Copies of this chain bind each other. A is one copy, B any other.
Amino acid sequence: MSTIEIPDVVIQRLPLYVRVLAGVLSQGTKVISSKDLGDILQITPAQIRKDLSYFGRFGKQGRGYNVRFLRDELRQILGLDQMWSTCLVGVGRLGEAIINYPGFIPEGFNVLAAFDSDDKSVGRMVGDLRVDSISNLDEIIQSKCIQIGIVAVPASDAQSVIDKLVSSGVTGILNYAPISAQVPNDAFVRNLDPVLSLQSMTFYLTRGNETSIDAI
């Protein structure tokens, strides 16, 4: 076991592999080659083999990868063999959509609490959750052992919300707000910003085609 630094791009591809493996498994495919996996994801076979080689030797030469085994190994590497407890901050329309999104639970992400700064929203039921006041954030995060905070508040509030989450012990932030969040480096942020995505896409749209870009 060595301390080779694994590139973040590699880490970001692993969930894609997990997703495709789960898909082909449900279609009854037992074994898959790096080439077939790559064809589905539009990634070179060499890339896939190299990515996997950071973590071990999962394949059989001459045959390929056992789909179920590789999926399970990757899930374990990513920490997806456990449930993750999350909370939502900001119960606007986006927040409601997040709470009711059916895609989180099957992947092991549970939204266990919802907070809003607006007193009119507090107490209201959204999905299965009662909206709590942000003033109870620290207490509830600790009592429910929440590990991940999902931030869906306006840009102006986002940094202070993230600060509160981090100081309550949350180390993972999924940030929907259009800001460049600052966190201590024992915490991690992933941003989902539709405006940034659109604004970088329009560069290519203004220039017709030719400049093919990769759909991550």
Contacts and interface: CB of A to CB of B under 8 A. Distances in A.
B148 A14 contact: no
Interface size class of A (residues with CB under 8 A): 35 or more
Contacts of A198: 84, 86, 104, 107, 109, 148, 172, 174, 190
Interface in A9-40: 11-12, 14-16, 18-20, 40
Contacts of A98: 194
B93 A100 contact: yes
Interface in A95-124: 96-98, 100-101, 103-104, 107, 109
A143 interface: no
Interface in A181-195: 181-183, 185-186, 188-192, 194-195
Contacts of A206: 78-79
Interface string A138-163: 00000000011010000100000000
A204 B98 CA distance: 23
Contacts of A40: 180
- Name the residue among A18, A86, A198 with the largest chain B CB count within 10 angstroms: A198
Contacts of A5: 211
B195 A103 contact: yes
A203 B16 contact: no
Nearest to A84: B202
Given A100-B93, A148-B205, A188 B174 contact: no
16 contacts: A11-B203, A11-B213, A12-B196, A14-B200, A16-B180, A79-B203, A93-B96, A101-B194, A104-B198, A109-B195, A172-B201, A172-B202, A180-B215, A188-B201, A188-B204, A190-B197
Given A205-B171, A205-B188, A213-B188, A199 B101 contact: no
